Structure 1
């Protein structure tokens, strides 16, 4: 059962940004081969966005890797209540960012968006939580399917089929987000703040978590082509980042991959 997942995370400054306000998580949790994954995109300008993303990263790791069950029946999830615990970790990260922003005028506008996932090959499930316009995709049987829902007007119209992918990528308001961590204090289980879910995750499948620095510039077709190649997850992540930079590299670019080997 060990070493069934290959995973890798990569974050790049891009070609036009002075700093990188993105960060990620890609690490094993518990004593089984489950992994904690996240793509985090800071907002609020320079130091603020970077600080907010760092708080979210630190909080999610502390609450979810620390909650992983060391001894579990193999058919049980690596966390007692994965979706609920992801929800609580994101809520806590939000509240810590909010409180930090209130103590420092320089950081007053800071926030972040994020997508968090736990891939559990024993349970053959992925559990996730999401706020903003970072994304979670499932690559399965040659098809790339978006599991998360964008919290932006443009993303909403794209998800509803009212905008094509190309129209959404070129829309002047594509980066105007409706939800982010750090704006207000939150309570867990608010569906108007965090979207959560779970999906099958079986041998041969791959997860992609990414910031909009990738998806604003690289189409699903182009992403699918990279994922279909017989490359390591490290090489695939680098290829996706390179594609975004070659397309302009206008923003920070973060890519996290987890492949369930057959």
Structure 2
């Protein structure tokens, strides 16, 4: 599950967010499943996306300095791992109640944490859209926040969304609306409600959610919603939904594994080289980036 909210002008924002989603999806596709070290995978994938966004910006004519937020969640065997940069959020709701949400990398979140402003003051703070970290668009080292492994229970809902959604309604209302019979209806209603509650200049509204129906299949119900609220938006949000993407990537991954298996069986005849001279393994070592643990 991936949600990215680009910035840096409409073209730069779209370039950054789409590059991030494409890069992480490609890297996910290259890994055998289940992924043995989810946290290392998330860090490596976001770091590679960071570098890809910068390269794309430099190659653009004229050069751009694009950036994007991101929140990425990996689901395996009834457990979830996540990482994020910026103010796109991950929520975990249980029976309609929020049991977890990520902390934004934003100036307002900093003021809240330090006690300089109240939650009520944060809602309409003039710098509420100012983020302190992003993917791309920076010469500083990328800083990623990682979450600890979370065990999911039947009925749990994971929601990934941009600030266009969560700034338009309180968390209690989000949790209540996620109790709807289907996530498709819930997200559609939430996006419409957030749009009505927000000022005319509000940001894009993008969300993706998955409800765990059983530990054996966390992808049994998934949905996404996206609204672009203004024609001259300076951000372009991109979402990768788990239902469609997981199926597509799993099928392609299986095909790649089949090809590699055949190659290992016949490589001596095909390449006329000793078997130990050739490494065809898909289990690449994934470097860890600098991490912030909650």
Q: TM-score range by the shorter chain?
A: 0.7 to 0.9
The structure with higher relative contact order (CA 8 Å, sep 6+) is: 1
Name structure 1 gaps, 5 residues minimum. 1-36, 70-77
Shifted more, 168-177 versus 178-187: the winner is 178-187
> Cα distance 1:138–1:81, how it changes in 2: closer, same or farther (>3 A)?
same
Q: Which has the higher helix share?
A: 2
SS in 2 for 1:168: helix
Residue equivalent to 2:238: none
Matched, 1:89 2:40: no
Pairing 1:155-174 to 2, within 5 Å after superposition:
155-158=109-112, 163-174=117-128
Within the candidate set 35, 54, 71, 1:98 is matched to 54
Residues 107 and 219 (structure 1 numbering): CA distance in 2 closer, same or farther, change over 3 Å?
farther
CA contact (8 A) 1:213 1:244 kept: yes
Q: In structure 2, do the counterparts of structure 1 residues 111 and 257 end up closer, same or farther at CA, with 3 Å as the change threshold?
A: same
Deviation of 1:106 (Å): 3.7
- What's the CA shift for 1:107? 4.7
Deviation readout 1:131-188 (Å, 9 max, x if unpaired): 000000000243213432211121233456664443222111011111111134687x
Which consecutive unaligned segments of at least 5 residues does structure 2 have?
215-294
Q: Which residue of 2 aligns with 1:20?
A: none
| Alignment partner of 1:182 is 2:114 | no
**1:243/1:251 Cα in 2 relative to 1: closer, same or farther (>3 Å)?**
same
Cα distance in 1, alignment partners of residues 178 and 114 from structure 2: 25
Tell me the distance in 2 between the aligned counterparts of 1:186 and 1:92: 15
Match of 2:14 in 1: 50
Q: Deviations over 1:63-112 (max 9, x none)?
A: 1133142xxxxxxxx21111110110000000011112122354522110
Instruction: Specify whether residues 140 and 259 from structure 1 end up closer, same or farther in structure 2 by C-alpha distance, changes over 3 A only.
Output: same
| Compared CA separation, residues 44 and 106, structure 1 to 2 (3 A) | farther
Distance 1:53 1:93, change over 3 A: same
Equivalent residue, structure 2, for 1:200 = 151
CA contact (8 A) 2:54 2:65 kept: no
Q: After the TM superposition, which residues 1-12 of structure 1 pair with which residues of structure 2 at under 5 Å, given as runs?
A: none
The alignment's TM-score, normalised by the length of structure 2, stands at: 0.67
Looking at structure 1, the residues matched to 49 and 101 of structure 2 have their Cα atoms a distance apart, in angstroms, of: 22
- 1-structure distance, mates of 2:28, 2:139: 20
1:256 to 203, 208, 219: 208
Structure 1 residue 240 displacement after superposition: 1.1
Task: Choose from 61, 74, 92 the match for 1:118.
Answer: 74
Per-residue CA deviation, residues 20-76 of structure 1 (Å, 9 max, x unaligned), is xxxxxxxxxxxxxxxxx011000001111001101001001011133142xxxxxxx
After TM superposition, the structure 1 stretch with the greater mean CA deviation from structure 2, 164-173 or 45-54, is: 164-173
Distance 2:99 2:114 in 1: 14
1:60 aligns with 24
The TM-score, its normalising length taken from structure 1, stands at 0.74
Q: CA RMSD in A?
A: 2.0
Select the structure of larger CA radius of gyration.
2
